[in-house]
Structure 1
Amino acid sequence: MRLRAFYAILPIALCVVSAGFCSDAGERGYDCYFKNDLRGALASYRINLNEALRSADNVREVICLNNLATVYYGLANLDSAAGYIRLAKAASQANPSLAALAAINEQLLFFPSETTDISADAVEDLEDLLSAYEYASVLIGWGRVKLVRNEPNEALSLFEKAQKKLKKGKNPLGLANVAYYTARALKAQGEAKDALKQADEGERLYRIKNHVQGIKKCLVLKEALYRSLSDTQQADDIKRRINNLR
């Protein structure tokens, strides 16, 4: 199995800490993950998982298992990532919403040939378990799955819902991600000019957070869009910016 470039996943995989079930360890894991300190995130999420198991908290358990799968994937340990996905699926069998969370994460990371049907109602019910940012992350993750399935219209609808959630919280990083993936969906529809506007917005927001991986993926997308528009000068300029990015 080929590992896709990690910046294509960061920072929106289903790496979430439920607002209602968060602990200090969970918050530390969340902070480490978004600073790309994956070893630190791993240690914190393991502690968080143990806390969930001790308290028999099924919701937090499934969230932690998904978090660990995401982090192990980022560390290129695919066997461990797949193992935690299996554990998350097993632990969520009695709860359709949590099962949807595990299914989205599995498809987001591994895109298995046999995909699990994901219920829209089950995903909607996750809104009661997660914060606005975390729920938006789930919507973006599901939208990304739709993109891979060549369903850009459905992806755009999910990204729009995510954007509304994120605007309420004024979260630049979340809005940067939704702009980037909206640009990807518009590109898939052949709407290069509209896609460029979204990619520009994504880059602007990533720069607010100095998120180099996010800036880079927006620039890579913009180069491809300019080339699709036969604007070689702009595309070459973007390529130089990518090469100079530190």
Structure 2
Amino acid sequence: MRLQLIRNATLRLTYAGCTLLIDPYLAPRHSLPTIGGHEPNPTSELPVPAEAVLEGVDLTLISHLHPDHFDPLAQQLLPSSMPILCQGVDVEALRRLGFTNVTPLEASWQGLGLLIERTPGTHGSGHVLPLMGEVMGFVLRAAGEPTVYWAGDTILTPAVLETTMRVQPEVIVTHSGGALWDGLPIIMDAEQTVAVCQAAPQATVVATHLEAVDHAATSRRALREAATAAGISPTQLRIPADGESLIFAAPGSPA
């Protein structure tokens, strides 16, 4: 498997002979409104041309419709016939945008040699949680590939830990930027990401959703410092730069 972090939560995965695109956020730097009142978004530039992000994509997964996961430029550039997996609550909105091949990911989906299982997410807590709406993560499996748990926009909850224990993934992708809404975290921060590493010592944790939106409070440096202080090695917790690719061998294969 080849995992390329584009920016924020946007990934390109080369997996079982397919190219998967996750949560495309393609806007130029500072072209969208501020969220946290600090600066316009995105706060970083796209590391490759937007058209290159979409090149050769076989399937797009959209976890929810917040603009830092599917922004207006992505909506414009993504081909209308692109196969899309999404939450059931988002199907009609995507069809109204002109997309014609939209499938809800309910419990699971199978195709292209892949098995994708929906997992729960909790996008905040307290009075903020209903404002954030429904979100999802997923587990990705295929013959000869590492099992991937993409946790999505969620804080650390018992459900996340239960999924980790049940699935025993080789790779866990976390959203670790510590984004805040009305002072409450809506995704994982450094402390919660370290807790995931500690709960899943068999897995490589890939921390994303960092340094791209202005309401995120956790930097890559702060996350690395917290992990080092907790004894988490750089080989277990990977913190890719925007545009960086990571390669993961199939289970049982030489690294």
TM-score bucket of the superposed structures, by smaller chain: 0.3 to 0.5
Task: Choose 1 or 2 for highest CA Rg.
Answer: 1
Higher relative contact order (CA 8 A, sep 6+): 2
Q: Which has the higher strand share?
A: 2
TM-score normalised according to structure 1 size = 0.35
Q: Which has the higher helix share?
A: 1
